[in-house]
Amino acid sequence: MPPIDDWVRRSCARISDEGVGGVRDSAQELYDGLWRYLGWHVPRGTNIYDRDWDTLVVLDACRIDLLQQVSNEYPFLESVESFESVGSMSEEWMAKTFTQEYADEMHQTAYVTSNVFSGEVLSADRFEALDEVWRYAWDDDLGIVPPHPVTDRAIATARETDPERLIVHYMQPHHPFVAGDAPLEFGVDPFGRENETTVVDALRKGRITREDFWNAYTENLRLALDDVAVLLANHDADTVVLTADHGDALGELGIYDHPAGCLHPVVKNVPWVETSATDERTYEPSIEPRQETDEVQARLRQLGYR
């Protein structure tokens, strides 16, 4: 939790500018900070390396009930089980997953990721390969990396390097919601460029309904799962697991989003689905890594983290 004097200073400025709205936002910040302080230091969850898998597909911020809702639409989602993650947000998940204890396993892992926190937490020399797709395939119009470049690079990595283990980290269904016309329905800028808010902030403040949020959240998940289907048909893996780094709170116990250290089950408990993959050569990768960017903080701001 940040020092209390910093919170007081921010709160005074916020209340002066926004009045009652500032009081509400400061109270939420303090509440989230208490969860973060308590939860970060409590070791909970199971490391992914303590389970058996050849390919791990990470669907960022995917709730169990969200994946269960669409499970009948995708043949590879036969049974959606529960798994307790080691983190409640991506930075914490990476820091608690990729530790020295699992150094040998990491050296046999190729990690293809669109999550920007890799730029703050991870070092390429700890992996067999680290492909940070967000560095060269970020879509400025969407404010995030869409699924396709991740799938493309994952297939290329699997075929070219044949790693012992492959992790493929999609940013969807994490907001911003970019599937179809979903963001336009809210009447807010999902990237926070004009009104400095995110879709989650809009939900918390009652500017959008939970139903609208959930529908767009679901479409974002389908966007990723359509690409997962391509991935499963274009590389070989006996055991493929679909999971998430963390879930997402939508008002349970007054919690929204996925604050670091949060111990609430809707954030800590994530899906665990086992399937397999067979390379049928129905897709040929075409994306090559280009000049990389170091704009970590700018990307995190677009996602609502800074």
**Domain residues for 24?**
1-41
Lowest mean pLDDT among 62-66, 88-92, 253-257, 290-294: 290-294
Mean pLDDT of 100-122: 97
Strand partners, 277: 237
Cis peptide before 147 (omega within 30 of 0): no
Mean pLDDT of 234-250: 97
Mean pLDDT of 189-205: 66
| Same structural domain, 32 and 70 | no
Please report the beta strands in the chain, taking only residues with DSSP state E, as ranges in sequence order.
55-59, 81-84, 109-113, 129-132, 165-170, 237-243, 249-250, 256-257, 269-277
Express each pLDDT in 76-97 by its tens digit: 999 999 999 999 999 999 999 9
What CATH number does the domain containing 168 carry? 3.40.720.10
| Same structural domain, 30 and 50 | no
Question: Of residues 192 and 229, which shows the higher confidence score?
Answer: 229
**φ, ψ (nearest 5 deg) of residue 297:** -65, -40
Mean pLDDT of 162-186: 83
| Same structural domain, 31 and 57 | no
| Same structural domain, 3 and 149 | no
> Helix crossing, 4-18 with 20-40: angle to 10°?
160
Residue 269 has pLDDT above 80, yes or no: yes
Q: Tell which residue, 117, 27, 113, has the closest CA to residue 303.
A: 117
| Same structural domain, 30 and 85 | no
Instruction: Round to whole Å and give the CA distance between 243 and 7.
Output: 35
User: In total, how many domains does the chain have?
Assistant: 2
CA-derived radius of gyration, the chain? 19
| Same structural domain, 135 and 15 | no
Q: Whole-number mean pLDDT of the chain?
A: 85
Residue 131 has pLDDT above 70, yes or no: yes
Residue 41 has pLDDT above 90, yes or no: no
Cβ proximity of 278 and 172 under 8 Å = no
Residue 194 has pLDDT above 50, yes or no: no
Express each pLDDT in 250-267 by its tens digit: 998 888 888 888 888 999
Residue 63 has pLDDT above 90, yes or no: yes
Contacts of 3 (CB under 8 A, 6+ apart): none
| Same structural domain, 5 and 120 | no
Structure tokens at 289: 């890594």
| pTM of the predicted protein model | 0.83
| Same structural domain, 297 and 148 | yes
Q: How sure is the predictor about 278, in pLDDT bands with cuts at 50, 70 and 90?
A: very high
Mean pLDDT of 7-28: 57
Task: Please tell me whether residue 89 adopts helix, strand or coil conformation.
Answer: coil
Structure tokens at 75: 């043949």
| Same structural domain, 18 and 151 | no
Confidence (pLDDT) at 191: 42
Confidence (pLDDT) at 199: 86
Residue 111 has pLDDT above 80, yes or no: yes
Question: Of residues 143 and 223, which shows the higher confidence score?
Answer: 223
Confidence (pLDDT) at 279: 98
Q: Tell which residue, 172, 169, 269, has the closest CA to residue 219.
A: 172
Cis peptide before 176 (omega within 30 of 0): yes
| Same structural domain, 114 and 247 | yes
Strand partners, 170: 59
| Same structural domain, 181 and 298 | yes
| Same structural domain, 221 and 86 | yes
